[in-house]
Structure 1
Amino acid sequence: MSRPAVAILDDYQNNAFDLTDWSNIRSSADITVFSQPWKSEDDLVEQLQPFTIISLMRERTALPARVLDRLPNLKLISMTGGRTSTLDLDACTRRGVWVSYTGSSPSHAAAELALGLMFACARALPQAHANMRGGQWQEGLPMGMQLEGRRLGVVGLGKLGTYVARVGLALGMDVVAWSQNLTADAAREKGVRRVEKHELFADADVVSVHLTLSDRTRHVIDRVALSAMKKGAIFINTSRGPLVDEAALIDVLKAGQIMAGLDVYDIEPLPEDHPLRMLPNVILAPHLGYVVSNALAHFLQESAQNILTFLEGGVPPLKNPDVLNPSTAR
C-alpha cells in the first residue's frame, strides 16, 4: 500500500520546514513543497494530481470546482486560517474532500504593513532610497507630507482597522471611519468619528482599507470614491485587491491625482507586465501583510496538526462537517 502524499503549497520563502516540525507526518507520509507560483491552471492540476493531502496557505492558490474535479486522489485540504474566498467548499463536500482549518493569527502584521506603506508614501522612501543607491541626493523627490494634523480615513473598523486608527490618533491625526455596518456609537467607542463613504474619500489625506472580501464588499471602493480623493492623497490597501475597482484605481493613479501603497491585487502574483508595476506614484509589496514568522508558524503548526490528526484516523476541525455524512458526497 502506497504512502499518502502531502503537498505544501505556495511556500514562497521556503520556510515551512523551518517554522514547523513535520517529522511526525514524515513518518507516515511523503511531503513535497511547492515554492513557485503555478504557470497555469493545467500546470497546477498536473502537479497536484498525485496528492492525497494539500496544505493550503490562505488564498494563494485558488481551488475552484473545475480544479477540484480534476484531482481524483485528494482526500484532505488543510486550510490555514478560517476563511477563504478561493476554495469551493461545496465542491469539496460533493467530492468527499475534508477541509480542515486553523485559528486566525493573533498578529497585527497586516496593519503594521499598512502603516509602513503610509509612511513610505508620505515621505517617498523608496525613491529616496533609490537616489542614495544611485549616488544622488534629493533630486526629483516629491515634497513629503507631515502626517500630524492630517485626516486618516479608515475603511473597516475591525481588529486591524482599529489598530491603524489607534496609531493614527497617537500620531496626532484626525481619524474618521466608514464601513457598511459601522455605527456612530461603535466608532465613538474606539475614539474616532463615523462619516459617510463619500466624505471619507473626499476629505481624507490618507485612506487605509481594512475590510473582509465578500459579495457585498467586492468593488465597494469604486470609481466614484477614488475620483473624489483630493490631489496628493494617499490610498493604502493591505486587505484584498477585489475590494477596489482596479481599473478605476489605475486611471486615478495615471492622472497623478493620488499616491498608493498596495500589498494586494486582483491577480496574484501580479503579472510582470501589469500597469501597476509601471506607475511611479505606487509603492508595491508582494502580499506580505500576514507574512511574519510568528503568524506563519501559527498557521503551519495548526495545519500540520490537522494533517496528523487525519492520518491517525481522527477528525480535525472541519469547515465542511457535512462531508462526514455520506449522503452529501458523491
Structure 2
Amino acid sequence: MRILVADAFPDEYRAELAAYGHDCTYEPETTAEELARALAGHDALIVRSTAVTADAVEAADSLRLVIRAGSGTNTIDRDAAARRGVYVCNVPGRNAIAVAELTMGLLLALDRSIPDNVADLRAGRWDKKRYSRARGIHGRKVGVVGLGGIGLAFAERAAAFGADVHAVAKPDRDERTLERARAIDTVFVDSLDELARTCDVLSFHVPATADTRMLVDRQLLSQLPPGAIVLNTSRGDIVDEDALIEAMESNGVRAGLDVYADEPTSSTGTVTSRLAKHPNVYGTHHIGASTEQAQHAVAAEVVRIVTAFTAAAPSDAPPHCVNLDALEQAALSSPTSTTSGGGP
C-alpha cells in the first residue's frame, strides 16, 4: 500500500512498514487544510493530531484506511469515511501511562506553583514566602471521572502519593477494573455531583461523545469547594470553558489542562484560547501521549493494524475499527457501495 504518514512517527516503525513492502510518504508537517492534496494516490493515512475532515476524505482518490495513532478519534470525520468505505481505526490503551504521568505532573505543578516558581527565578525574583504555601497531595480527596486505562493509571499514581481516590459507582464495570480500583481503596459515590461535592480535585478521563460534551458545566462546577482543582487531559469539548473561567474568578478554582476547545489542528500554530491564558490555568500543548515510551508502543500497534488490514479478507474489519457501524449503515443505505476491505 501507499501510506501517508501526516504526523511525527518513529523512524524504525516507518522502516518496518517499508520492510513489509509498503511505500511510505512521510510529511509530518501536513496541516488539516493540506491533507486533501497530500492524500492523492494514497491507500492509507496515519495521523496523530492532524484533523481529517470530510473534505479531505472526499478528495482522496484511493483511501481505504485511516489510523489515528492514539486513542481518541474526535478529530476524524468517521461518518464521511464510512460513506466512502474507509475504515477508521485507533490505538487504545497504549498511551495510558504517559497521559497519567502528565496529569499527575499538572496536579503537582498546581499544588506547588512550579511554573510560577521557575518564571520568577528566571526573572531574578526570590519569593520564598509566596511559594511556601501549598496543601500537598497526601490526604487530598481526588475524584477520577472515567475509570478506563488512563483514569485507572492516574488513580493509581495519585493513591501512591497518599491521595484518597474517589469515583462514581457504575453497575456495568468489568471485574478487572473493579479489582484495580479496590486495590487502591477507591471510594465509590452515587453521582458526579456528589463526587464534585466530596472532592477538592476532579480529574477527567473520558472520551468525546454526545454524552460527555460540556460535561464540566456551570452546574457541576458550582458543586466544587473553593480553591478546587480541575484536571483535563482527555478532550477539550468536555469543558464549558466560559463556565470554568467564571468558577476560577468567583470561587478560586484552578485548572491543569492539556486540551482546549479551540486548539490548533496541527502541531504548531497560534493559540487564541482565553482559558489557556487565564492565570489560574497551568496548561500544556496537548502532549499527554507524547513520551518516547508511549509513541513506540503506539507505533508498534499501528504497524500491526496495517499488517492485519493487508492480510485480511475483504469482509474482515481491521483491529480497533471505530466506524464499523457507520460503514454497515452506509452499505445498507447505498446498495451499490461496499467497503474496500483488506488486501495489498
Which range, TM-score by smaller chain? Answer: 0.7 to 0.9
Between Structure 1 and Structure 2, how many residues are aligned?
Answer: 318
User: Deviation at 1:119?
Assistant: 0.3
> Gaps spanning 5+ residues in structure 1: where?
none
Alignment partner of 1:9 out of 6, 9, 17: 6
What does 1:233-244 align with in structure 2 at a 5 Å threshold?
A: 233-244=228-239
Partners of 1:110 and 1:26 lie apart in 2 by: 31
CA distance in 2, matches of 1:103, 1:158: 10
Between 1:258-267 and 1:248-257, the stretch displaced more is 248-257
In 2, are the aligned partners of 1:20 and 1:297 still within 8 Å (CA)? no
- What is the correspondence of 1:311-322 to structure 2 with a 5 Å cutoff? 317-318=318-319, 319=321
Find the counterpart in structure 1 of residue 271 from structure 2: 272
Range with greater deviation from structure 2 (27-36 or 211-220): 27-36
For residues 248-296 of structure 1, give each alpha carbon's deviation from its aligned partner in whole angstroms, at most 9, with x where no partner exists. 1122234462111101122333852221232111111111212212221
Distance in 1 between the 2:300 and 2:208 partners? 26
Whole-Å separation in 2 of the counterparts to 1:177 and 1:28: 45
Query: Counterpart in 2 of 1:246?
Result: 241
**Rounded Cα–Cα distance in structure 1 between residues aligned with 2:135 and 2:261:** 29
Amino acid at match of 1:43: E
Letter in 1 for 2:318: P
Q: Is the 8 A contact 1:188 1:194 kept in 2?
A: no
Correspondence for 2:213 among 210, 218, 234: 218
Q: Tell me what 2:42 maps to.
A: 51
User: Map of 1:20-169 to 2, 5 A cutoff?
Assistant: 20-22=14-16, 24=18, 29-35=23-29, 38=31, 42-57=33-48, 60-81=49-70, 84-102=73-91, 104-105=93-94, 107-138=96-127, 141=131, 143-169=133-159
Asked if the contact 2:36/2:55 (under 8 Å) is kept, the reply is no
> Structure 2 unaligned runs (5+)?
340-344
- % identical aligned pairs: 30
Instruction: Provide the C-alpha distance between the structure 2 equivalents of 1:190 and 1:29, rounded to a whole number of angstroms.
Output: 47
TM-score, normalised with respect to structure 1: 0.81
Residue equivalent to 1:204: 199
Moved more, 127-136 or 168-177: 168-177
The 1:6–1:115 alpha-carbon spacing in structure 2 relative to 1, beyond 3 Å, is same
Q: Distance in 2 between matches of 1:152 and 1:100?
A: 33
Q: Residue deviations 1:225-249, cap 9 Å, x none? A: 1133222221111111122222211
Over aligned residues, Cα RMSD in angstroms? 3.4
| 25-34 or 263-272, larger mean C-alpha shift | 25-34
Q: Aligned letter for 1:74?
A: L
**TM-score, normalisation: structure 2:** 0.78
